């Protein structure tokens, strides 16, 4: 017989070990799954986790997909620390892409060095504007930001589809629902000529340090953390609650918007009906796997990115369905949440002698 | 064969219980005769709670044996304890507010609801604990709720009743009534285990006392022949630290409330009704009264967590502060210091380190930030200063607030607010649940603030404490504040009458 009992203090070791346990359990379940699908387990794993990284191009793809995941996750780390549950990073990413892409399309012949910074700024503002909606509704009408931000994801998606299918459709594009290709000055420089990853990857790395510094060393970051952990203590100390909600949502919206514009100004080079394979949602898992810390989010984004490209390789090499990526992501989050139970609880053996003793006592 | 002498109702011998970080009980011996009122005394963390949990089957001891009326037993669950005839009235009530008294009793005891109301009436009248079984619990006063808890135990005809700090929420009159009930129960043969840290009560009520110190039995005594000092010596191992209040010279008014009325955010809370008060620099003003009479609401008005309608309703250090939030009030002049009743979650953030908790309210006053940046070195130094000056027991300033005992955390919070040298200090229940040593230190800190010219307002349920440290005293009852009276002219009787809401006899009134 085992019994769950509360630990006297949360285990610092388990906080770090829990994502590792989760990754291991995900791999084991994955092995079982490959076996059940009749795939040779070793080969499947090789195709999923190793093969993508054997070429320079593959490494570039890995970093390329890790970048938007990291950017979205950094914003979510700030929001979740403040106990503000922004689930709509995907929608804010799309709005960032629309706003930034809109600037590129508005100045098709521009060649100045101001265009890219203007696009990035517009992307950040677009994501912020979209996140401002749940912030306003929560602070003014006490609506739930989880529902509002999530539903706005679909609104943003529909808006993008309307734009690329209607007003912004490429007139020379044979009626394909996509915009014109951006001009040369509107495309981000590459990190390395053999890879598709852009300089935004470096910016994301820089921002990782920035977010870490913000949360660990600034007064504002401290106030957000207090508001998230103990709302009554935040009120007692006089940290305005509404302000915290605004800051948390605007920060996460801005990061997601940056990820969105970096996608369209990077590997896509135009607006398409879909600009993200779900980076905004996957970033939620990244933020949690990264223990709501900036350096953790970096590692989490690299793992999650590997799942994305591994899933693609698995489709090509092994003929597995596309759902394999989502399946691995889901397994990871599932096992992480399960393993997190042991941060605050532990298993203890209960001696089987307990039962007869009870009888004696009640006799 | 001759009949052996009657065995004790309950006999504990060699009971030990270790937790990962602390030995809660170490070779504890305790015996209770039938019909005896037996006190268990000890500071916070002395192991009283663990011992009671062992008796009531919540926790199992690592070693030792329990004998119930001579027979060895293992009590594995509260249900097993109740089956033996052990009842317990907890310090914090466990009643459903939206159900009636009778429904609550039926739920907790599993007694058939048919005829239950009648039985509740009968038992409650027999023991002088009148309650109406059909009333909803949320409409009952705290004292009445305690009656429900006691009656709930009595319906199961206990032979041992455990009372955990039962008087902390009662008016002096209600305490007298409770004692009469307990004596009647004991006369009928029910043993009573009475846990308290109020020495006067134990001396009045109990025939025998077992004193615990750091998990061990430090002595057994007949409290009726002991003095408060001798009992306290057994508890803390030294003289009861006293805190003589030197005569003060009140200065100008530093804190003023002008006919403040405020609705409560809590649907079951109490609205404030025209509360006016003035506290001068160099003066400690005490507000007595039972929790739930508007204390929470008054504190929120003082701290700025609830804003007043007019700026002039609240004046701090001469500034109209009614429309200012908590952070702005801290920054006024020398500032407002504030110690809330809830330590974990309001006065301190549980999972954050002591250093971070020093930063919580100390950022401005102690200069711990520069522009947007936190000055880590200064934060740590400030936290270490609090720990050293207020003798907070902790490994260092990186320990999480939640890892400290209640008394130590309170010392830290008080220390943080005191070291910011506020012009006005408001402290709510400053020594609630705190051991004797820490309580003396905390009261001493408040008196020191008074000597430095701060205006100090203390809201407390503990009359002894208010009488010890306050220059003037008033009572908050049902959202109204009584007139204030110099403490030396106040009597427990007057305060008791004010607590019931009767302000007609005012004695020596000061505005």
Helices A241-263 and A115-141 cross at an angle (nearest 10°) of: 150
Task: Single out the residue of B173, B168, B267, B216 nearest to residue B27, CA to CA.
Answer: B216
**B331 interface with A at CB cutoff 8 Å:** no
More confident residue, A254 or A7: A254
CA distance B247 to chain A (A): 33
Q: Where are the alpha helices (DSSP H) in B188-223?
A: 199-205
Q: Determine the pLDDT at residue A363.
A: 38
Q: With bands split at pLDDT 50, 70 and 90, how would you rate the model's confidence at B505?
A: low
CB contact under 8 A, B403 and A9: yes
Residue B163 φ then ψ, to 5°? -115, 120
Distance CA B141, CA B390 (A): 37
CA A148 to each of CA A127, A130, A134, A142, A248: distance values in angstroms, whole numbers, following the listed order = 15, 11, 6, 11, 15
Distance CA B24, CA B227 (A): 27
In chain B, which residues have their Cβ closer than 8 Å to the Cβ of A357? 74, 76
Taking residues B232-246, what's their average pLDDT? 63
CB contact under 8 A, A238 and B356: no
Q: Where are the alpha helices (DSSP H) in chain A?
A: 12-36, 41-45, 56-81, 89-106, 115-141, 145-165, 200-217, 219-229, 231-237, 241-263, 279-289, 294-318, 323-344, 354-362
Q: Determine the pLDDT at residue B264.
A: 75
Which residue's structure tokens are 């989880």? A146
pLDDT digits (tens, 9 = 90+) for B83-135: 899 999 876 677 888 899 999 988 888 888 888 899 999 888 888 888 889 88
Minimal Cα distance from A235: which residue of B? B305
Q: Determine the pLDDT at residue B267.
A: 60
Angle, vertex CA B290, rays to CA B341 and CA B162, nearest 5: 90
Q: Determine the pLDDT at residue A156.
A: 97
Task: Single out the residue of B432, B488, B497 nearest to residue B465, CA to CA.
Answer: B432
Task: Single out the residue of B288, B345, B339 nearest to residue B503, CA to CA.
Answer: B288
Look at residue A362 and tell me whether its pLDDT is greater than 60: no
In chain A, which residues have their Cβ closer than 8 Å to the Cβ of B328? 238
Q: With bands split at pLDDT 50, 70 and 90, how would you rate the model's confidence at A357?
A: very low
Would you kindly state where each structural domain of chain B is located, as residue ranges?
10-236, 253-499
In chain B, which residues have their Cβ closer than 8 Å to the Cβ of A224? none
Contacts of A330 (CB under 8 A, 6+ apart): none
**B479 interface with A at CB cutoff 8 Å:** no
Distance CA B451, CA B284 (A): 10
Between 3.30.460.80, 3.40.720.10, 1.10.10.10, 3.40.50.300, what CATH number should domain B10-236 receive? 3.40.50.300
C-alpha of A63 from chain center: 14
Q: Which residues pair with B31 in a beta bridge?
A: B11
In chain B, which residues have their Cβ closer than 8 Å to the Cβ of A213? none
Least confident of A160-169, A298-307, B255-264: B255-264
CB contact under 8 A, B329 and A240: no
Look at residue B507 and tell me whether its pLDDT is greater than 60: no
Helix (H, G, I), strand (E, B) or coil at B225: coil
Taking residues A346-358, what's their average pLDDT? 59
Report whether B270 contacts B481 (CB < 8 A). Answer: no
pLDDT digits (tens, 9 = 90+) for A212-268: 999 999 999 999 999 999 999 998 888 888 899 999 999 999 999 999 999 999 999
Q: What is the ipTM of this complex?
A: 0.80
Helix (H, G, I), strand (E, B) or coil at B100: strand
| Rg of chain A, C-alpha, whole Å | 23
Q: Which residues pair with B384 in a beta bridge?
A: none
**B364 interface with A at CB cutoff 8 Å:** no
In chain A, which residues have their Cβ closer than 8 Å to the Cβ of B351? 10, 229
B20: nearest CB among A8, A236, A237: A8
pLDDT digits (tens, 9 = 90+) for A185-212: 889 999 888 889 999 999 999 999 999 9
Distance CA B8, CA B100 (A): 38
**B21 interface with A at CB cutoff 8 Å:** yes
Least confident of A52-56, B262-266, B273-277, B475-479: B262-266
Report whether B424 contacts B279 (CB < 8 A). Answer: yes
pLDDT digits (tens, 9 = 90+) for B154-163: 888 899 999 8
Would you kindly state where each structural domain of chain A is located, as residue ranges?
40-319
In chain B, which residues have their Cβ closer than 8 Å to the Cβ of A220? 372
CB contact under 8 A, A8 and B304: no
Taking residues A86-106, what's their average pLDDT? 96
Q: Are B10-236 and B253-499 in the same CATH fold? A: yes
pLDDT digits (tens, 9 = 90+) for B21-57: 567 889 999 999 999 999 998 776 678 888 988 999 8
Report whether A143 contacts A277 (CB < 8 A). Answer: no
Report whether A310 contacts A48 (CB < 8 A). Answer: yes
Q: Determine the pLDDT at residue B357.
A: 94
Q: Determine the pLDDT at residue B236.
A: 66
Q: Which of residues 211-250 of B touch A (CB under 8 A)?
A: none
Task: Single out the residue of A89, A119, A266 nearest to residue A181, CA to CA.
Answer: A266
In chain B, which residues have their Cβ closer than 8 Å to the Cβ of A229? 349-352
Q: Determine the pLDDT at residue A356.
A: 42
Q: A40-319 in CATH: which number?
A: 1.10.3470
Q: Which fold has domain B253-499?
A: Rossmann fold (3.40.50)
CB-CB neighbours of A163 under 10 Å: 19
CA distance A96 to chain B (A): 28
End-to-end CA distance of chain A: 24
Look at residue A355 and tell me whether its pLDDT is greater than 60: no
Q: Determine the pLDDT at residue B509.
A: 46
**A237 interface with B at CB cutoff 8 Å:** yes
Distance CA B430, CA B459 (A): 8
Task: Single out the residue of A248, A300, A295 nearest to residue A89, CA to CA.
Answer: A248
Taking residues B331-337, what's their average pLDDT? 76
CB-CB neighbours of A276 under 10 Å: 23
Residue B385 φ then ψ, to 5°? -65, -45
pLDDT digits (tens, 9 = 90+) for A50-73: 988 998 999 999 999 999 999 999
Minimal Cα distance from B376: which residue of A? A217
A-B contacts (CB, under 8 Å):
89
For chain B, what percent of residues have pLDDT higher than 90?
29
Q: Determine the pLDDT at residue A359.
A: 40
C-alpha of B330 from chain center: 27
Taking residues B143-148, what's their average pLDDT? 83
CB contact under 8 A, B352 and A229: yes
DSSP per-residue string spanning B462-493: -HHHHHHH-SEEEEEETTEEPPBEEGGG--HH
């Amino acid at each position: 017989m085992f019994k769950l009992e509360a630990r006297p203090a949360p285990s610092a070791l388990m906080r770090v070990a829990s994502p590792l346990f989760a990754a291991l359990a995900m791999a084991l379940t994955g092995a079982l799954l490959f076996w059940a699908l009749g795939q040779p387990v070793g080969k499947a794993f090789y195709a999923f986790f190793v093969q993508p990284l054997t070429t320079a191009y593959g490494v570039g793809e890995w970093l390329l997909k890790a970048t938007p995941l990291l950017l979205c996750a950094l914003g979510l780390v700030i929001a979740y620390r403040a106990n503000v549950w922004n689930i709509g990073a995907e929608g804010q990413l799309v709005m960032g892409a629309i706003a930034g892409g809109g600037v590129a399309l508005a100045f098709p012949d521009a060649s100045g060095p101001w265009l890219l910074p203007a696009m990035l700024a517009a992307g950040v503002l677009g994501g912020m504007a979209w996140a401002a909606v749940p912030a306003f509704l929560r602070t003014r009408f006490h609506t739930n930001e989880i529902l509002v931000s999530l539903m706005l994801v679909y609104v943003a998606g529909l808006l993008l589809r309307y734009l690329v299918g209607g007003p912004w459709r490429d007139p020379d594009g044979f009626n394909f629902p996509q915009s014109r290709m951006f001009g040369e000055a509107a495309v981000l420089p590459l990190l390395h000529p053999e890879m598709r990853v852009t300089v935004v990857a470096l910016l994301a790395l820089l921002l990782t340090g920035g977010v870490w510094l913000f949360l660990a060393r600034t007064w504002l970051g401290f106030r957000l953390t207090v508001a998230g952990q103990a709302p009554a203590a935040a009120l007692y100390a006089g940290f305005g609650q509404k302000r915290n909600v605004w800051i948390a949502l605007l920060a996460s919206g801005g990061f997601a918007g940056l990820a969105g514009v970096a996608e369209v100004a990077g590997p896509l080079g135009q607006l398409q009906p879909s600009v993200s394979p779900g980076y905004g949602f996957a970033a939620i898992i990244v933020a949690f796997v990264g223990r709501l810390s900036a350096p953790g989010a970096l590692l989490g984004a690299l793992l999650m990115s590997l799942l994305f490209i591994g899933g693609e390789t698995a489709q090509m090499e092994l003929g597995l369905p596309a759902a394999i990526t989502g399946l691995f992501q889901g397994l990871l989050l599932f096992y992480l949440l399960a393993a997190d139970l042991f941060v605050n609880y532990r298993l203890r053996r209960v001696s089987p002698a307990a039962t007869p003793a009870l009888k004696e006592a009640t006799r | 064969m001759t009949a052996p002498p009657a065995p004790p109702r309950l006999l504990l011998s060699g009971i030990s219980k270790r937790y990962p970080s602390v030995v809660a009980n170490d070779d504890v011996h305790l015996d209770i005769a039938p019909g005896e009122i037996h006190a268990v005394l000890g500071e916070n963390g002395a192991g009283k709670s663990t011992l009671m949990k062992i008796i009531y089957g919540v926790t199992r001891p690592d070693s030792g044996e329990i004998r119930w009326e001579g027979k060895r037993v293992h009590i594995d669950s509260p249900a097993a304890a109740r089956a033996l005839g052990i009842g317990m009235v907890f310090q914090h009530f466990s009643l459903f507010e939206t159900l009636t008294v009778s429904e609550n009793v039926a739920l907790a005891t599993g007694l058939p609801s048919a005829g239950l109301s009648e039985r509740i009436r009968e038992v409650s009248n027999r023991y002088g604990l009148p309650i109406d079984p059909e009333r909803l619990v949320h409409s009952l006063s705290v004292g009445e709720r305690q009656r429900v808890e006691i009656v709930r135990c009595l319906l199961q005809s206990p032979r041992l009743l455990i009372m955990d700090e039962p008087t902390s929420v009662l008016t002096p009159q209600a305490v007298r009534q409770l004692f009469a009930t307990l004596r009647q129960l004991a006369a009928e043969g029910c043993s009573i285990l009475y846990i308290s840290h109020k020495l006067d009560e134990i001396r009045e009520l109990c025939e025998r006392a077992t004193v615990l110190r750091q998990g061990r039995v430090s002595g057994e005594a007949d409290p009726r022949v002991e003095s408060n000092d001798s009992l306290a010596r057994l508890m803390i191992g030294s003289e009861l630290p006293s805190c003589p209040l030197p005569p003060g010279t009140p200065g100008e008014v530093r804190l003023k409330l002008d006919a403040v009325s405020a609705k409560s955010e809590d649907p079951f809370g109490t609205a404030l009704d025209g509360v006016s008060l003035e506290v001068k620099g160099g003066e400690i003003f005490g507000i007595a009264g039972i929790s739930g009479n508007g204390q929470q609401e008054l504190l929120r008005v003082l701290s700025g967590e609830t804003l007043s309608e007019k700026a002039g309703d609240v004046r701090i250090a001469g500034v109209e502060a009614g429309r200012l939030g908590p952070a702005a009030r801290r920054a006024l002049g020398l500032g407002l210091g504030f110690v809330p009743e809830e330590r974990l979650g309001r006065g301190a953030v549980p999972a954050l380190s002591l250093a971070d908790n020093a930063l919580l309210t100390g950022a401005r006053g102690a200069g711990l930030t520069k522009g947007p940046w936190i000055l880590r070195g200064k934060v740590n130094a400030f936290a270490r200063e609090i720990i050293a000056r207020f003798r907070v027991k902790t490994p260092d300033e990186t320990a999480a607030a939640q890892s400290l005992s209640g008394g130590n955390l309170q010392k830290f919070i008080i220390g943080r607010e005191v070291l910011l040298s506020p012009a006005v200090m408001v402290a709510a229940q400053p020594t609630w649940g705190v051991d004797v040593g820490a309580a003396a230190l905390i009261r001493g800190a408040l008196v020191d603030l008074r000597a430095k010219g701060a205006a100090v307002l203390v809201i407390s349920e503990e009359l002894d404490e208010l009488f010890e440290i306050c220059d003037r005293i008033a009572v908050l009852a049902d959202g109204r504040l009584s007139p204030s009276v110099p403490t030396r002219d106040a009597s427990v009787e007057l305060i008791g009458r004010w607590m019931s809401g009767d302000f007609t006899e005012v004695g020596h009134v000061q505005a």
